Structure 1
Amino acid sequence: VAASVCLASRTQLYDLRGGRWSERILDGLGLDPSRLALVQPSGTAAGTMHADLAASLGFSRPPLVVTGGHDQACGALGVGLTRPGLASVSTGTAEVMEVSLAQPVLNETLYRGNLSVYAHTMPGLYVAMTLNHSGGLMLRWFRDTLCQDEMSLAHSGGGDAYDLILRGASPDPSPLLILPHFAGSGTPTFDTASKGAILGLTFATTKTDLAKAILEGLTFELRTNFDLLHEGGVRIDELRAIGGGARSDLWVQLKADILGVPVAVPRVTDAACWGAAVLAGVGAGVYTDLAQAVEAALHFDRHFMPHPARHERYNNRYALYRELYPAVSTLNHKL
């Protein structure tokens, strides 16, 4: 049985600095290391599938089995995080940011922020990971609960309900503040009892205001993690957006304006599939150099720069957002 270094280092049984299963942890838990998988770099041919299993799955011959990696790390590889200082943000059901590191950053700041640091699928590199449980799921909840008209129009006209919901949204901050803890909070607080909150509602509030505020709240939460990484000494030169949320120019521009960094979007936003495919190609001998294989097929067709005036306005709004969780957390815990 084999496991990639990437996935082994997600088990909390692996010594990142030593590059092996941690004898200290295994001894403390009474675990026999011989019962654990052989750890190999991502993209290593581990053997072939058992013939009976291959036949039952419809393969004409047993396929090669190659070590892969954590889905988010595969996405980071697929969008070109092959050197330190680059970051990816994957917006799907949840929203996850991965930052590539030359060495494992294991300091007090990242520890207290509950950030995962583990081996990258790119051998020799590491990644730090942030997490927001809500992500695109929160926008889907809003669409399904409050936007039946837009869904009907999109269905009859062949359009996109999200485009209709956000049509006419101002590029400036929404009049609302939303705490996007609809499934508890992820990093840095990991407060499973936290809940969502909406502040600023009036009779003048529109569905577009709410939709825009949801995107802002999610991106403010992303900035909270972004700033934490910076405080922990992690450099981020550029952000690369992948996943379903990367299809929205409005949302990606919002990330650039709130975070204050350039954001690039690849032509293929399903980067995790591509990253895993390249690892399989390296293991099968189709490619000889992992980084070159990724870069050769990677094309960015959209680039978003932070707008200076909007970045300043969002800085002011972000300062208010930072007060929101402490202001409502005690009450949320009583609900």
Structure 2
Amino acid sequence: MAIGGLDIGSTGCKVTVYDDTGKYVYRAYRDYPILRSTGEHEVQAEAIWQGVCEVLQDAAVHAPELTALGVTSFGESCVLLDEQDRPIRPIMLYTDPRGSGACRELTEKLGRERIEQIAGVAPHSMYSLPKVMWVKKHCPEEYEKTRRVLMMEDFVIYMLTGNAVIDYSLAARSMGFDIQSLEWSQEIFQAAEVDSSLFSRPVPGGTCAGQIKPEMAKLLGLSPELLLVPTGHDQVAAAIGSGVFRADRAVDGAGTVECITPVFEGIPDDRRIYDGGYAIVPYVIPGSYVTYAFSFTGGALVSWFIRHLAKAEKGLAKEQGRTVYEVLEEGMKDEPTGILVLPHFAGAATPYMDEGARGAVVGLTIEHSTSDLYRAMMEGVVYEMMLNMEHLKAAGICPKKLRATGGGASSGVWMQMKADMLNLPIVSLGNAEAGAAGCAMMAGVASGLFRDLREAAEALITEKHTYLPRPEMHEAYQKHYERYRRLYDAVRPLV
């Protein structure tokens, strides 16, 4: 018996397989192109489906005993299918600006606060419902042909099983899901003049969606008894795969995007949480929710620095058979650099949600080195997370411990820096693919391999190292953070 996780991203998909003891067996990945033009950011549904089929065919060869598969995906974007289950048009990604007018119209009808109260999100054009409204208004013939509106998790599950179900956390990325009744909000859909029956049936994450269709099992070489399990939005899957099940815990997804996902009980009644762009998302633990505090440039900022400003260090690392990170960290001072980096190189996420924001580097002197600037890039990412944690704390969300996953979690320097700056213990995990692990854990529970998620966590999650905050370092960073808090307001009028 084997269990697996299928993670569908906006630029590629991957499947990871584990045996019945939780040991890693195999991983396959395929990418697909994003189509960008002025005012349009799209991906072809056919390309995503082809990528999914290819990774599943690979998995079938290397793990023919695969019996349960959890599925997670990026949020917001949806595919429109006709009565023959064929995609009608390309998928508009969350970064696609179309839908902004529809979002304004819906907000004018219902009011911003009413949408927030029902859907748990501040109105924004990135969500599914404004995009569907845009299609209905500007491409009415396409809307008339539409028989199903599916996000990526339920699209793949529907194609594999014939059952259209979506978990609560992904449904919450539509701007039309009632996070209290856990159903599609008829009030919002009626105001949007969109038929809610086009969308999949909402179910709790971890619900078995059914067995794979015989013809799909034959085509892909998979077991005809394979069970498909909706796991949730990708950040929720990462929280599950990090073993974050308590209301005072959070996962730090240290990937291309930096995202801290805390778990909390009950829905906060403080409106400031929506003012900061934070969503309230139903979690797999009944009565619990998560939110996303994120920066568009986490690991992406470090990668940009190495690609453009550390060419000499890259060459030296190649000569010496080391990594460029080792070269840059060699001799690095274990103290604040004094340089402030505003990490808005791809716009600002929470708490600003300002796509027009731009990055800045402040405080350079002729004495600073490449290594100093490298450290400052990492500091800038964490300062932004300090700002987010301050906003969340004001709304009553106060994680006491972080679990770190993703590529950035492999850097001991960065992890210690985060522990010092955030003043929280941080545990790095042995498995960088927390999303895949979360999917496999949910699949294991749904198939009966594990009794519950805690037992699944014992099998699949290993703790690598615990980084404890150092009071003297936190105090030193706090002084620079007071300067950082003023940086966005100082830079924004200039860009």
Bin the TM-score by the shorter chain: over 0.9
1:217 matches 2:393: no
Partner AA of 1:290 in structure 2: L
2:201 corresponds, among 27, 38, 44, to 38
- Map residues 22-37 of structure 1 onto 2, 5 A cutoff: 22-37=185-200
Taking structure 1 as the reference length, the TM-score comes to 0.95
Q: Distance in 1 between matches of 2:420 and 2:367?
A: 26
Counterpart of 2:341 in structure 1 is: 178
Counterpart of 2:301 in structure 1 is: 138
Counterpart of 1:165 in structure 2 is: 328
Spell out, residue by residue over 1:97-146, the C-alpha distance to the aligned partner (whole angstroms, 9 max, x if none): 10001223352111111111101244442101111001101100110111
Structure 2 SS opposite 1:18: coil
Counterpart of 1:327 in structure 2 is: 490
Spell out, residue by residue over 1:10-61, the C-alpha distance to the aligned partner (whole angstroms, 9 max, x if none): 2111111112111211111122232221111111111122233333323253
Structure 2 SS opposite 1:126: strand
Spell out, residue by residue over 1:170-226, the C-alpha distance to the aligned partner (whole angstroms, 9 max, x if none): 111003111111001110001111111111122212101100100111000011001
Q: Distance in 1 between matches of 2:318 and 2:235?
A: 32
Structure 2 SS opposite 1:67: strand
1:152 corresponds, among 292, 307, 315, to 315
Q: Distance in 2 between matches of 1:321 and 1:55?
A: 57
- Map residues 161-310 of structure 1 onto 2, 5 A cutoff: 161-310=324-473
Q: Distance in 1 between matches of 2:222 and 2:456?
A: 26
User: How far did residue 263 of structure 1 move?
Assistant: 1.0
2:338/2:480 contact within 8 Å kept: no
Question: Unpaired runs of 5+ in structure 2?
Answer: 1-163
- Pair 1:296–1:60, CA change in 2 (3 A): closer
Counterpart of 2:279 in structure 1 is: 116
Structure 1 SS opposite 2:280: strand
- Give the number of the structure with larger relative contact order, counting CA–CA contacts within 8 Å between residues 6 or more apart: 1
Structure 1 SS opposite 2:304: helix
Counterpart of 1:58 in structure 2 is: 221
1:318 matches 2:481: yes
User: How far did residue 167 of structure 1 move?
Assistant: 1.8
Q: Using the TM superposition, name which of 79-88 and 290-299 deviates more.
A: 290-299
Q: How many residues align?
A: 332
Partner AA of 2:432 in structure 1: T
Q: Using the TM superposition, name which of 89-98 and 51-60 deviates more.
A: 51-60
Q: Distance in 1 between matches of 2:458 and 2:262?
A: 17
Partner AA of 2:197 in structure 1: S
Q: Using the TM superposition, name which of 152-161 and 259-268 deviates more.
A: 152-161
- Pair 1:295–1:127, CA change in 2 (3 A): farther
Spell out, residue by residue over 1:289-314, the C-alpha distance to the aligned partner (whole angstroms, 9 max, x if none): 12332245433231111111111010
Q: Distance in 1 between matches of 2:349 and 2:286?
A: 27
Q: Using the TM superposition, name which of 91-100 and 57-66 deviates more.
A: 57-66
Partner AA of 2:277 in structure 1: N
Q: Distance in 2 between matches of 1:307 and 1:39?
A: 45
Q: Distance in 1 between matches of 2:476 and 2:211?
A: 56
Q: Using the TM superposition, name which of 197-206 and 311-320 deviates more.
A: 197-206
Taking structure 2 as the reference length, the TM-score comes to 0.65
Structure 2 SS opposite 1:320: helix
Question: Unpaired runs of 5+ in structure 1?
Answer: none
Q: Distance in 1 between matches of 2:274 and 2:370?
A: 38
Q: Distance in 2 between matches of 1:295 and 1:110?
A: 33
Q: Distance in 2 between matches of 1:298 and 1:63?
A: 24
Q: Using the TM superposition, name which of 202-211 and 29-38 deviates more.
A: 29-38
1:86 matches 2:237: no
Q: Distance in 2 between matches of 1:122 and 1:243?
A: 23
Structure 2 SS opposite 1:27: helix
Partner AA of 1:96 in structure 2: C
